[in-house]
Amino acid sequence: MRGYSKMMFCFCLIFVSVQARISFPALPEGFICQLPSDKGPCNRAIQRYYYNKRSSQCERFEYGGCGGNANNFETLSACQRTCP
């Protein structure tokens, strides 16, 4: 019975992984760079970088620590690699 439980667990894990991939496909290339900066609802002041499509460059902003969107990079170089 123990082997059956492991097999069912593995099956369920694979099923959930496949469902997540179908439900949440990868974002189109460059989509992240089109998003506006978003501080999020929390009140921390964490230095981050976002791509400003108006100025066509990565700029610093203060992230609140939660929420927000994918246009949020820990380093300037990470932003520049993603949004050249």
pLDDT in tens, 30-66: 899 999 999 999 999 999 999 999 999 999 999 999 9
Q: Is it the case that residue 26 has pLDDT exceeding 90? A: no
* CATH code, domain with 53: 4.10.410.10
Measured CA distances, 15 to 25, 29, 36, 59, 73 (Å): 16, 27, 34, 40, 31
Q: Are 50 and 58 in contact (CB under 8 A)?
A: yes
pTM of the model: 0.66
Which residue segment(s) compose the domain that 10 sits in? 2-82
Q: What is the C-alpha separation between 82 and 7, in angstroms, rounded?
A: 39
Number of domains in the chain: 1
Return all residues near 33 (Cβ < 8 A) that are at least 6 apart: 51, 53, 71, 82, 83
